[in-house]
Amino acid sequence: MVAVSNPKCNTSNDKDIVQGHMPGRKNWNNVISSSQRLERSTERALRHGLFPLVFGGDHSQAIGSITGMKKVYPEARVLWIDAHIDANTPASSPSSNMHGMPVATLAGLMPNYERKPVLSLKHLIYFGIRSYEPEEIRMIQKHRIPWYDSRVCHPDRIPDMKREIDKHFFPDGQRHPYWISFDIDGVDKSEFASTGTPEG
Ligand SMILES: [Mn+2]
């Protein structure tokens, strides 16, 4: 278990939050600040041979967990379980919420983000998506990213899905670790209603 406390983020007053905004990306400074802490903690846990379970915040924090994980396992593949594609940019996001932009940030699609991309879109598969912007679907099509509709994510299909996933990720048979990035809204709202962004 990795615990990253970011009390300043949690108690930011309105003035701090406004100062943390950038055009088209709400709370950018705060999100990046907590992501960097999480990045260090995730990297440290993995280097100590631990198995990190990262809970918290919203899916914007995957910027930190995946960046930290990629420092230790640069070839790791990512399974993104979410109702959303999370690859918005300030130009495509209707809300400017950073929780819709972590994949864009990790994959180098975010303008004016000075860090190098850590996630190849060839190393990403989506599960459960059912709410997205047109630009995000275009990204999936352009990069041929496999995605599984929530209606096909059924226990009976898991063995077949696993074969398909392995074929996509490891065409030459050489395997690499997986990282699972899970947003609770990937679960149908009839199963789990307590999410800020329920999707049926
Ligand atoms: Mn989501």
Q: Ligand 1 center to residue 100 CA distance, Å? A: 7
Say if 196 falls within a structural domain: no
Q: Which domain covers residue 93, as residue numbers?
A: 2-186
Residue 107: which CATH number?
3.40.800.10
pTM above 0.75, yes or no: yes
Say if 195 falls within a structural domain: no
Q: Ligand 1 center to residue 45 CA distance, Å? A: 25
Say if 8 falls within a structural domain: yes
Check residue 19 and give its pLDDT.
Answer: 60
Q: Ligand 1 center to residue 135 CA distance, Å? A: 16
Domain count, the chain: 1
Tell me how far apart the alpha carbons of residues 121 and 118 are, in angstroms, rounded to a whole number. Answer: 10
Say if 199 falls within a structural domain: no
Structure tokens at 22: 């950038």
DSSP string of 123-152? GEEEES--B--HHHHHHHHHTT--EE-GGG
Say if 193 falls within a structural domain: no
- The pLDDT tens digits of the residues spanning 123-182 come to 999 999 989 999 999 999 999 999 998 788 888 999 999 999 999 999 999 999 999 999
Q: Indicate the average pLDDT of the chain.
A: 89
Q: Ligand 1 center to residue 141 CA distance, Å? A: 20
Residue 5's SS3 state is coil
User: With bands split at pLDDT 50, 70 and 90, how would you rate the model's confidence at 197?
Assistant: low
Q: Ligand 1 center to residue 186 CA distance, Å? A: 6
Say if 198 falls within a structural domain: no
Q: Ligand 1 center to residue 134 CA distance, Å? A: 16
pLDDT at 59 over 90: yes
